[in-house]
Amino acid sequence: MKPHGRLILFTFLHGILLLCMNAPLESATLPSCNTFGNETDRLALLDLKKRITQDPLHVMSSWNDSLHFCNLVGVTCNRCTKRVVILKLTAQKLAGSLRKSIGNLSHLTGIDLVSNSFAGEIPQEIGRLGSLRSLNLSRNSFGGKIPSNISHCAQLRVLRLVSNELMDPFRTNSVHW
């Protein structure tokens, strides 16, 4: 075979190989990919925004309906399912509280609100986050008890709560964790 012919054969085979590789990939990902995301997540994020009382850096002003919720500052979605998987608003000078709507973001794997001024109790609904691996709420003003339902977060590997006003779970007085 002449070198020219070999090149054509190679290009031909390469094309078939690419086709074969693409075909199962596309049929596996395309039908299950969600374009719009889940309304539950959108409503939960809007509810979280409502509980923010101070936002001097105007982080939350970008949380409006002109952007898909997956593109909001601090929000990361799974690329295919468009479910919210990470909420990360580190050191944004935010004050406010978390409400039970956090438990509706049921696909969350990580929450990082380190170094803000969140206060109030950590809601029991955190226990509904069955995929949560990391909950990092250090350096805020969370108070009350650590929610007992956190024990339902079977995937939880990292729990950071230092520098809050939480009650010592083994005593009843308030401590600085």
- What phi and psi values does residue 101 have, to the nearest 5 degrees? -60, -20
- Which residue, 117 or 149, is less far from ligand NAG as judged by CB? 149
- Which residue, 119 or 163, is less far from ligand NAG as judged by CB? 163
Q: Report the alpha-carbon distance of residue 34 to residue 64 in Å, rounded.
A: 21
- Which residue, 8 or 144, is less far from ligand NAG as judged by CB? 144
Q: Report the alpha-carbon distance of residue 165 to residue 142 in Å, rounded.
A: 6
Q: Report the alpha-carbon distance of residue 52 to residue 72 in Å, rounded.
A: 15
CB of 6 to ligand NAG, least distance (A): 51
CB of 21 to ligand NAG, least distance (A): 30
- Which residue, 92 or 104, is less far from ligand NAG as judged by CB? 104
CB of 94 to ligand NAG, least distance (A): 14
Which residues make up the interface to ligand NAG (CB under 6 A)? 38, 40, 43-44, 47, 61-62, 64, 66-67, 90, 101, 104, 106, 112, 114, 124-125, 127-128, 134, 136, 149, 158, 160
**158 CB-near residues (< 8 Å, 6+ apart):** 133, 134, 135, 136
- Which residue, 23 or 158, is less far from ligand NAG as judged by CB? 158
SS3 for 58-84 is CCHHHCCCCCCHHHCCCEEECCCCCCE
Question: Which residue minimizes CB distance to ligand NAG?
Answer: 136
CB of 40 to ligand NAG, least distance (A): 4
